[in-house]
Chain A
Amino acid sequence: MDMSQYLGVFLDEAREHLQNLNDKLMTLEQNADDPELINSIFRSAHTLKGSSGQMGFQNMMELTHIMENVFDALRHQSIRVNSEMIDVLFEGMDHLEAMADSIEQSGSDACDVAATVQKLQAITSGGQTNSKQAEKKTETSSSNASIHGETINLTDYEKEVISQVQEQKMQVFETVVVLNKDCVLKAARALMISNAIEEIGTIIGTRPSTEEIEKEAFDQQLGFLIATDTEEQQVLEKINGVSEIAKVTVTPITTVEEKQPVEQSPLAQEIGSKKQEKQAKAPNKSASAHQPVAVAKTIRVNLDRIDQLLNLFEELIIDRGRLEKIASEIDSGDLKDTVGTIKRVSNQLQETILNLRMEPIEQVFNRFPRMVRSLSKELNKNVNFVIKGAETELDRTVIEELGDPLMHMIRNSMDHGIETPEIRIEKGKDPQGTLSLSAFYSGNHVFVEIEDDGAGINREKVLSKAIEKNVVTKEAAKKLTDKDVYHLLFASGFSTADKISDISGRGVGLDVVESKIHSLSGTVEVDSAPGIGSKFTVKLPLTLSIINALLVQCHEEIYAIPISSIAETALKRNIEMLTIHDQDVMEYHEQIVPIVNLDEYLSIRSEVKEGSQEDNQRGSSVVMVHHGNKHVALTADKLLGYQDIVVKPLGKYLKNVSGFSGATILGDGKVALIIDCQAIIAKQKKKYLKEQA
């Protein structure tokens, strides 16, 4: 059977299970005794094993199988959780993730896992689980030994079934049968006993497993869990009717500790079914009954289709712009009303479509707990990692790009921020440092903060390094605010670590972070207090593709300025212009702000005669733009008004062209470039620093 059509679904599900395993393993380390947690891990591993086997990925299936054995042993408490074990399990997870990637890319799950397999097997052989049987029968590993003590250790599955059976007013008996010592066909005898029991009730579980019984892998003792509506005495009689039995004890089970609240699952009804084989499959069914019931119905949609939908909608927006223009020229009430309706509906449509592309930031956040864990080990630091607001939703494209910059910042905080426990104690701090990663909405933006309670940033150290590396001049350095100084960390070729460590000194540093975040139209800021900690704040737009912008005209050319960059607009004749060092400036909120003539900045060739009417209009409008707390005033000939525009990338070929964050198509089909205000401000700053030098 051709499985390729299911490959996408398989990979999606496999990744979900891998993520679940990753998360739960992290929690398991702190919370080793939570049976529900171990069960959830086991179920994920089990499903993954099953589906990878079905798809024919033998390697993946085998590795999952061996890991599953470990989880199974944990479930039955034959081994205990410890840090080394988690390390090995994570190693296995890494291999599984690599396999999933390689399946996606090349369709093969080839991967050398021998070393990990060995380590995993060493863990299980420490416990008493026989891996071969543990795979097939989940109840197996509660060992024979427990029967000798005449009480059967109940598995969670059995407990659950028992509680459901009891709700149906049936009784549950724990029955231990000892066969005659000279009994030859033990398996046949056992079958006779179970047949006898099935006449009056249902077998919930056996000790040992049915398979082991079939193989005669037991001494003289057999244990049965029986659900029945008859009395203790009748059970006893029925079993005693089978020959070659030395002793039978029947004890009723009245209550089950740790009763788990479960909805009436199909399983309880299945009890009535007389087929023994079904029991082997039953644990899986109960597993699915355990999973939280999804409230909303969902379908998987190929991302390409959503992108296509967005593209079509973008074309609609362009035509809507055109319609609005026409409607304003033609004086028709009906037309205006209709255009108004279209505008309203398309606004809702836009919101809906963009929402389709939104995904919780959890997807990125999820990979960090593991990283922090292994980093803390590597660096000998004790770090409490806190995640807040993982449900915050962001555009998918942003989420995909956000992983690397966040990783760099977290590494940075781990490496340079949080101190070793010894130093922390010396400073009178809690030996365990706290690193928090949080996301939240504010206005049209999403904020992501990385905050640590470490040493903070050393202003002097940063400055001397920056001067040494020629990032700033000595003169300019004196005038920088703390925030400016901290921001120098993002300058390229900058690393304050005295020695290059493996953690943050991988050749790519915070400068990559800033450029990446800028490419997402976001900003990053640093705040710090020496001895108390530092905070990196990333501000991102909710969505990238449709923005509100001001269209401005310079000569014949039209440009768009994103509204998010605009602080204010004014007419030039209403402002007071000053000149400092040949640079036009103006005062704005007690700040001296440089004025940039867009004509010059955009090197627009003027063909207008000086003194003519058009010339008087030149640069008559002022747009105050900002990036963070830095402002620049831009002059343009005319402000054409605000409009929703669709941001289109300039493409790979023009990657090196700076000054524009993209382009848009106007109502008349012409292309207008979107001005990157941050680039203008950066250019001004460079110019300023040059003059200072």
Chain B
Amino acid sequence: MADQDEIMKVILFEMNAETYGVPVEQVLSIEKVDTITRLPNAASFIEGVMNLRGLIIPIVDVRRRFQMGESEVTKESRIIVVDVEEMKVGLLVDTSKEVLDIEKGKIEKAPEIIGGPSATYLNGVAQIGENKLLLLLNLDQVLNRDDVAALQKIEG
């Protein structure tokens, strides 16, 4: 394929000692955690809403989204503000430090990972260094609103 060598820029973040990535084009900014206002009656993985320079953005706890437990806000915690289908959403993650270039050719289809997000939420995996695997998130699926609605029904 022609785009085998094409380079993709990915923002990396960590959760449960796993490395995740989102394409840089979908990321607006990376923020430190400010006061998050709890949003009653919302799905449990919605941490709340935050003031991002005059804009109200919902904050999603990625860990809870994938039913991997609950995030603890620490000094290292970051909010990755993404823009998907004209929705601006903040993702609460353990830490985020790096931007990485990966060749598209190295991305493989995502296998089912035990204890991690199901393959529907992933665009693929890539080997980055020895024994280190990068999980590329499919934000369209992660922030799928039909999914959210369904979850709310179950919980409500």
Contacts and interface: CB of A to CB of B under 8 A. Distances in A.
Interface of A: 311, 314-315, 318, 557, 601-604, 648-660, 662-663, 665, 669-673
Contacts of B54: 311, 314-315, 318, 665
Interface stretch (B12-20, B24-32, B42-50, B116-124): B42-50
A318 B145 CA distance: 31
Contacts of A672: 37
Contacts of B56: 648-651, 662-663, 665, 671
Nearest to B57: A651
B145 A665 contact: no
Contacts of A604: 40
Contacts of B50: 671
B149 interface: yes
Interface stretch (B68-76, B81-89, B101-109, B129-137): B81-89
Contacts of A318: 54
A649 B55 CA distance: 9
Nearest to A557: B38
Given A650-B49, A671-B56, A656 B39 contact: no
Interface residues of B, number: 27
Max count, chain B CB within 10 A of own CB: residue among A315, A649, A662, A669: A669
Top 7 A-B pairs, shortest CB-CB distance = A671-B37, A602-B40, A653-B87, A648-B56, A657-B42, A652-B87, A663-B56
Nearest to B40: A602
B152 interface: yes
B110 interface: no
A660 B46 CA distance: 15
Contact of B58 (A315, A557, A648, A650): A650
Given A656-B145, A656-B148, A648 B55 contact: yes
Interface in B78-97: 86-89
A654 B51 contact: no
A318 B54 CA distance: 9
A201 B87 CA distance: 72
Given A604-B40, A649-B56, 16 more contacts: A601-B40, A651-B57, A651-B58, A652-B87, A653-B143, A654-B46, A655-B145, A656-B148, A657-B41, A657-B152, A662-B56, A669-B35, A671-B49, A671-B51, A673-B39, A673-B40
Contact of A654 (B35, B38, B42, B55): B42
29 contacts: A311-B54, A314-B54, A315-B54, A318-B54, A602-B40, A604-B40, A648-B56, A650-B39, A650-B49, A650-B58, A653-B58, A653-B143, A653-B145, A653-B148, A654-B42, A654-B46, A655-B145, A656-B145, A658-B41, A659-B41, A660-B39, A665-B51, A671-B35, A671-B48, A671-B56, A672-B37, A673-B37, A673-B39, A673-B40
A658 B156 CA distance: 11
A653 B89 contact: yes
Nearest to A663: B56
A669 B35 CA distance: 9
Given A649-B56, A650-B49, A670 B37 contact: yes
Nearest to A659: B41
A663 B149 contact: no
Nearest to A652: B87
A133 B41 CA distance: 70
A313 B149 CA distance: 35
Nearest to A672: B37
Max count, chain B CB within 10 A of own CB: residue among A601, A658, A671: A671
Contacts of B143: 653
Contacts of A663: 37, 49, 56
Given A670-B35, A671-B37, A652 B51 contact: no
A315 B148 CA distance: 31
B39 A654 contact: yes
Interface string B50-68: 1100111110000000000
B29 to A, nearest CB: 16
A149 B103 CA distance: 90
Contacts of B49: 650, 654, 663, 671, 673
A479 B27 CA distance: 55
A451 B31 CA distance: 54
Max count, chain A CB within 10 A of own CB: residue among B49, B55, B87, B148: B49
Contacts of A652: 86-87, 145
A601 B41 CA distance: 9
A311 B148 CA distance: 30
B11 to A, nearest CB: 20
Contacts of B41: 603, 657-659
Contacts of A603: 40-41
B117 to A, nearest CB: 18
A654 B37 contact: no
A307 B48 CA distance: 26
A557 B48 CA distance: 12
Contacts of A602: 40
A311 B56 CA distance: 13
Contacts of B88: 651, 653
Contact of B87 (A651, A656, A669, A673): A651
Nearest to A312: B54
Contacts of A314: 54
Contacts of A659: 40-41
Nearest to B146: A656
Contacts of B38: 557
B40 to A, nearest CB: 4
A174 to B, nearest CB: 68
B140 to A, nearest CB: 12
B15 to A, nearest CB: 20
Contacts of B35: 669-671
Max count, chain B CB within 10 A of own CB: residue among A315, A650, A656: A656
Contacts of A557: 37-38
A673 B86 CA distance: 22
Contacts of A649: 56
Max count, chain B CB within 10 A of own CB: residue among A654, A660, A663, A669: A654
A668 to B, nearest CB: 9
Contacts of B37: 557, 663, 670-673
A604 B143 CA distance: 26
Nearest to B39: A657
Max count, chain B CB within 10 A of own CB: residue among A657, A658, A673: A657
A407 B38 CA distance: 39
B25 to A, nearest CB: 19
A557 B35 CA distance: 12
A654 B58 contact: yes
A649 B58 CA distance: 11
A657 B37 CA distance: 14
Nearest to B150: A656
Nearest to A604: B40
Nearest to B55: A648
Contacts of B46: 654, 657
Contacts of B55: 648
Contacts of B34: 669
B143 to A, nearest CB: 7
B58 A656 contact: no
A671 B48 CA distance: 10
Contacts of B51: 665, 669-671
B48 to A, nearest CB: 8
B149 A656 contact: yes
A597 to B, nearest CB: 13
B5 to A, nearest CB: 36
